[in-house]
Amino acid sequence: MIKNMSLKNIAIVLFCIIYFFFNFIVFSIFNKSYVEKIRNDFLEQNKYSLDMAKNYIFQEVDNMTNFARQIADDQIVRYAFNKNEYISVSHDNIDNPIKILPLNKVAQVKMAADLKNRLFGWREGKIRRDINFYDRQLNRMISTGDIIERNYTPKYLMDAIGRGEIPGADLGIIELENNEIFLRGVVPIHRINRMGVVEVFENINSVLANEIKMAINREVIIKTNDRIVTSTLYSGTGLLENYKIEKGFITNKRDYNIIEIMDKNIIFHFQPLYNYTGEKIADIGVGFYSENIEKIYRETMKKIIISEILFSIFILVVIYLFMAFIFEHFDSIVQSIKNISEGEYEDKINISFGKELKILSGAVNTLSDAVRVRENELRDLNITLESKVEQRTSELEQSNNSLKTLLDNTGQGILFYGGNLLVDQNYSSECSRIFCKEIGNSSIDEILFKKERDREFFRESSISVLKEQNKRRRKAYLELLPTEIEINRYKLKIEYKIIEAEQNKIMLILTDLTEIKILEDKIKNERNRLDMIVRVVTNSYFFRKMVKDFNILIKKMENESKIDNLDNLLMEIHTFKGNFSQLRISGISSELNRFEDFIQSAYSLPKSILFIKVVERIKKIKEVLNAEIETIEGILGKNYFVENEGYFISGLEMDAIREEVNKAVNEENYAAIAAIFDKLKKASLAEIIKRYESYIYELANKKGKMVKIEVQELDKVYIDEAKYSLFINSLVHIFRNLVDHGIEYPEERAAIGKKEYGKIKCTVSKDGNKIQLYISDDGAGIDYKKIAEKGISEGWIAKEESENKSKLLELIFRERFSVKSESDEISGRGIGLSAVKKAVESYFGNVEVLSEQGKGTEFRIVIRDIN
Amino acid sequence: MKKIMLVDDSYFLRESLKRIIPKDKYIIVGEADNGLEALEKFRELLPDYVTLDIAMPDMDGLTALKEMLAIKADTKIIMCSAMGQRPILKEALDAGALDFIIKPFEESKVVELLNEIFEE
């Protein structure tokens, strides 16, 4: 707070502090001597009165002494200089001080009374002016006239005589002579002196009272040997007050003393009083109340203080005005500086007072000029700079434009971004097309990706690329960035390059693959179609048969009553689906897949509704089938189904021919012909199996597995395809199963020491009238645990049976048994193996499964030769 | 000649690598098929180079990578991963791996990589 105070105020405060402090010291020193001085002055003033008093006393004492001598000479009063002489005094009129009169009794008494008064009054504590004082006894004596000559010492005399204090006072004899009372006594000299002094005092009193009427509260004291003898107080009003001092203390031994009288401190200035012979009688002092001095002192001090204060105020005002004056100029300097800071340089300060202020104001003026000059310089420089900047900017724009032109001509989307992940303003126009907006200054991760996870990965990887010093690691990071992306339905290839300019940047090159992709898809579709055609051609018999059988199925389905057994229906559809897909007729197999889904969910529907829906779907299926056939016919010709390189003869017709031949030809020849007929009608089982090869390879490929298929023909087995069609068609399920569940992924196989290629072996053999087909793999074998789990969860087996392998193996042939949670076009519906079992059983055969975990599975199918 | 150690839980893969590693540049000082074994051998052999599979039992490749670099920080480690493991690869690079190869790999590319790394 002190730091922010105005200098003026600080100066004033400092000044006040110093000033008063200084005064305080001076005053303390001054105080004492001043008081003393006042007193001394006072005493000096009153010394006059003291001297006067002294003089009077001496004078009067002298007078009295002379007078006393005179009286002594008159024989009435004997005045002696030593205390052993006596003197008798008489007078008859109290008002008339010491007068020599003839003594008469009354007068003597009176005188005695008076004498006593005067003499001893002070001893009694008060001075009485009792002129009517009588000793009663004496009065009686006088009044009765019964004066006897006797030694009667009145009491007062006895007092006078007998008291120890008055040595040698001896006044005792009252003599009556001729009716006159003679009073003889002795009065010691000092008493006389005292008496005289009292008298003188009275005179002094009156004198002094008259002369020093104006004195206030003065007192004159006579003291001997430090004892007060008498005192008289004078009051300012002129009234005389006599009072006795009860006690007085001499408090110090200097010229003056402070005596406490009646609770008042009185300062006395004493001087010794000597009698005629130079003998000191007493000290005489003039005293005055110290109160007076105090009062005067106080009053004087008051005056001093008041004048000091006034003086101080005056000084302060002067200082304040002076400072105000200085700081006024100060203000003008401040104002000038403010002007400079605001850009006004014209007003110059002109201060005429004070060296320091002048210097300061001069400096400020110089500053003002200097700043103006600098400002102008700056302005010029700024103009130059701006024109340079303009020039550079236009140069930059030009080069940017060239760059842009370059970029735009590449036909690719090219953009740059740096560590802040914002796209640079220079990018090719292709980018605007791809992103459907201007992307300058956008965040690269936001425009490329929608998911926060992808954005984060892109951001972090980009930053790692830019920060990485090691070239190899940088390249590795770069490889992590995605190379394909779809934006606004454009399929794009992304390439990255690192630009090492002053700051590292990444160049992104986007190439639109959409066209290419469309082309690729087209090619793929074409290829598939071709594939389909090829297969249809190579398996033309199979194909035509399949179509025929399928049409029969459709017809069946159109008959409501045949939809009773949905399970059977499902199985048949499933099988057809597999077979169509084997021939690459994907349209129909997908449609059938959808149909399968529908049926699986349709179990709960009431028959009427079910039938309606089935009819709808059949319609669709027929459409699809027809479309496929059209496609095929489109390539192979409308009459493909009719015309062929070969003849199409139905089995019935064949049988008919055979009969005829049999009739026509004799038995030996017939055998050879019969064999040919047989051959025509039949196919070798091994060949049939081989047909599955490409399908299986395809399947495996799709799954990412590698297989090798081996068909081993131990015996030549020919079967009538037509008769065994159900069986043959169902084999697809086994192969699917093996590929799906059995064969492991190449890495897995490699990890356990197997060759990456899973081997599927099909062995065809004959035993009597039994045809044996063993299909095995060297895969993972059946997962008994999974089967057990599924079995328990579905309630097909009890928990105790979970270790029973044979029981578990039975389960896999159950309808709707599948350990897969999802079904797809290939498997998972739980239909396949049950279809196999059914098929096999319809040929009075059976299927056995052997499996060892980790080693493989073998399906052993035995069917009867029904030729 | 630099020391290299092969770590992968696939025997097949290790064999493949063994076949293609340039013998004039690298000596194969050890193999391991899980992370823990790899670390033990690493401490013993202190190879200059390591090929390190990501998915392994007992200790995965990323942890093994960090442990190895903690033991010898200038080891050059190449991660092997199956497809689709980009985030883990990035983590590995962040942690100090030098490069990566994706399985199944092209032999010629791996040979090229190993030759280049040897020079650096």
pLDDT tens by residue, A671-685: 777 777 766 767 788
Question: pLDDT confidence of A90, banded at 50, 70, 90?
Answer: very low
Q: What is the mean pLDDT of chain A?
A: 71
Burial code (b: 16+ CB inside 10 Å, e: under 16) for A799-832 equals: eeebeeeebbbbbbbbbebbbeeebebbbbbbbb
Nearest CA in chain A to B114: A472
CB atoms within 10 A of CB A427: 24
Whether residue A133 is predicted with pLDDT greater than 90 in this model: the reply is: no
Residue of A nearest to B113 (CA): A472
Rounded mean pLDDT of A477-491?
Answer: 90
Alpha-helix runs per DSSP H in B11-104? 11-20, 35-45, 61-71, 86-95
pLDDT digits (tens, 9 = 90+) for B67-91: 999 999 999 999 998 877 788 899 9
Cα–Cα dist A791/A607, whole Å: 30
Among A805, A657, A650, A662, smallest CA distance to A720 is for A650
Q: Inter-chain contact B99–A472, Cβ cutoff 8 Å?
A: yes
Specify the DSSP element, H or E, that contains B81: strand B76-81
User: Of the candidates B89, B103, B120, which has its C-beta nearest A472's C-beta?
Assistant: B120
Alpha carbon distances (Å) from A821 to A146, A166, A740, A824: 175, 156, 13, 10
Determine the Cα–Cα distance for residues B72 and B62; give it in Å rounded to an integer: 15
| Interchain CB distance below 8 Å, B117 and A464 | no
Cα separation, A760 vs A774, whole angstroms: 10
Shortest CA distance from B56: residue in chain A: A751
pLDDT the model gives residue A270: 55
Q: Which stretch of A411-425, A818-832, B32-46 has the lowest confidence by average pLDDT?
A: A818-832
Min Cα distance A747 → chain B (Å) is 7
**A78 backbone dihedrals φ, ψ, rounded to 5°:** -110, 125
Nearest CA among A427, A509, A512, A496 for reference residue A462: A496
Please state the φ and ψ torsions of residue A313, each to the nearest 5 degrees: -55, -45
Neighbours of A482 (CB within 10 A): 14
DSSP A739: I
Cα(A308)–Cα(A313) distance, rounded to whole angstroms? 9
Q: Distance between CA A255 and CA A57 in Å, rounded? A: 20
Q: Which residue has the higher pLDDT, A320 or A252?
A: A320
Q: How far apart are CA A288 and CA A346, in angstroms?
A: 79
Position with higher pLDDT, A392 vs A228:
A392
Calculate what percentage of chain A has a pLDDT beyond 90. Answer: 12
pLDDT, residue A532, reads 84
Task: Identify the helix (H) or strand (E) that includes residue A224.
Answer: strand A218-224
* Widest distance between CA atoms in chain A: 244
* Res A121: pLDDT: 38
Burial A221-248 (b: 16+ CB within 10 A, else e): bbbeeeebbbbbbbeeeeeeebeebeeb
For residue B10, give every residue at least 6 positions away whose Cβ sits within 8 Å of its Cβ, in sequence order, or none: A747, A750, A751, B53
CA R_g for chain A: 80
pLDDT at A223 over 50: no
pLDDT confidence tier of residue A450, bands split at 50, 70 and 90: very high
Q: pLDDT per residue over A569-628, tens digit each?
A: 777 887 788 788 777 788 888 888 888 888 878 777 787 788 888 888 888 888 988 888
Q: Find, among A143, A168, A19, A185, the residue nearest to A84 by Cα.
A: A168
Per DSSP, the three-state class of A707 is strand
Whether A476 sits inside 8 A of B99 (CB atoms) is yes
Average pLDDT over residues A190-212: 39
DSSP A422: B
Is the pLDDT score of B42 beyond 90? yes
Interface of B with A in 74-103 (CB under 8 A): 82, 86-87, 89-90, 93-94, 97-100, 103
Does pLDDT of A269 surpass 90? no
Q: Classify burial at A12, counting beta carbons within 10 Å of its beta carbon; exposed 0-12, middle 13-18, buried 19 or more.
A: middle
Cβ count within 10 A of residue A841: 13
Residues 6+ apart with CB under 8 A from A282: A197, A222, A223, A224, A229, A272, A273
What was the pLDDT predicted at A324? 80
User: Of A840 and A571, which is predicted with more confidence?
Assistant: A840
What phi and psi values does residue A344 have, to the nearest 5 degrees?
A: -100, 120
Question: For the residues A328-347, what does the mean pLDDT come to?
Answer: 82
The predicted-structure confidence for A363-416, as pLDDT tens digits, reads as follows: 888 888 898 899 899 999 999 999 999 999 999 888 888 888 888 888 888 999
pLDDT of the residue at A124: 31
pLDDT at residue A67, rounded to an integer: 46
- Please state, in angstroms and rounded to a whole number, the distance separating the CA atoms of residues A848 and A774: 9
Q: What's the pLDDT at A17?
A: 85
Measured distance CA(A421)–CA(A814) in Å, rounded: 59
CB A368, CB A340: distance < 8 Å = yes
Coil/strand/helix, residue A415: strand
In this predicted model, which residue has the larger pLDDT, A509 or A605?
A: A509
Chain pair A-B, CB pairs under 8 angstroms: 49
Residues 6+ apart with CB under 8 A from A207: A56
Structure tokens at A270: 């004493």
All residues at 6 or more sequence positions from A316 whose CB lies less than 8 Å from its CB, including other chains = A12, A15, A16
Chain B positions touching A464 (Cβ under 8 A) are 90, 93-94
Under 8 Å between Cβ of A685 and A764: yes
Report CA torsion sign: A488, A491, A496, A499. Answer: negative
Query: Could you count the other beta carbons within 10 Å of the beta carbon of residue A755?
Result: 13
Q: What is the pLDDT of residue A215?
A: 31
Residue A860 pLDDT > 80, yes or no?
yes
Chain A residues with CB within 8 Å of chain B CB:
457, 460-461, 464, 470-473, 475-477, 479-480, 747, 749-751, 753, 756
A544's tokens: 């035509």
Q: What ipTM was estimated for this complex?
A: 0.88
**Residue B38 near residue B5, CB atoms below 8 Å:** yes
Helices and strands, number each (H, E), in chain B? 5, 5
Nearest to B93 among A473, A747, A756 (CB): A473
Can you state the angle between helices A105-120 and A189-211, rounded to 10 degrees? 70
Q: Measured between alpha carbons, how far is A142 from A138 in angstroms, rounded to an integer? A: 6
pLDDT computed for residue A394 by the predictor: 92
Long-range CB contacts for residues A565-569, cutoff 8 Å, separation at least 24: A566/A599, A566/A602, A566/A603, A567/A815, A569/A599
Task: Tell me the backbone φ, ψ of residue A802, rounded to 5 degrees.
Answer: -65, -15
Question: Is 60 exceeded by the pLDDT of residue A183?
Answer: no
Interface check for B13 against chain A (CB to CB < 8 A): the answer is yes
Structure-token pair, residue A17: 């502090």
Helix axes A832-842, A725-737, angle to 10 degrees: 150
The predicted structure's pLDDT at residue A477: 92
> Could you read off the pLDDT of A29-88 as tens digits, one per residue?
766 666 667 666 655 655 555 555 555 555 544 554 454 444 333 323 332 222 222 233
Q: How far is CA B107 from the centre of its chain?
A: 15
Q: What's the rounded Cα separation, in Å, for the pair A435 and A305?
A: 98
Q: Give the model confidence (pLDDT) of A764-805 as tens digits.
A: 999 888 899 999 999 888 888 888 888 888 887 777 777 777
φ, ψ of residue A373 to 5 degrees: the values are -60, -45
Query: Does residue A119 carry a pLDDT above 50?
Result: no
Gap between the Cα atoms of A167 and A162, Å rounded: 8
Q: Which of A614, A605, A599 is nearest to A558 (CA)?
A: A614
B12 vs A contacts (CB less than 8 Å):
747, 749-751, 756
pLDDT of A15 > 60? The answer is yes
A681 against A355, higher pLDDT: A355
Please name the residue ranges forming H helices in A74-149.
105-120, 136-144
Q: Among partner residues B9, B86, B116, which is closest to A751 by beta-carbon distance?
A: B9
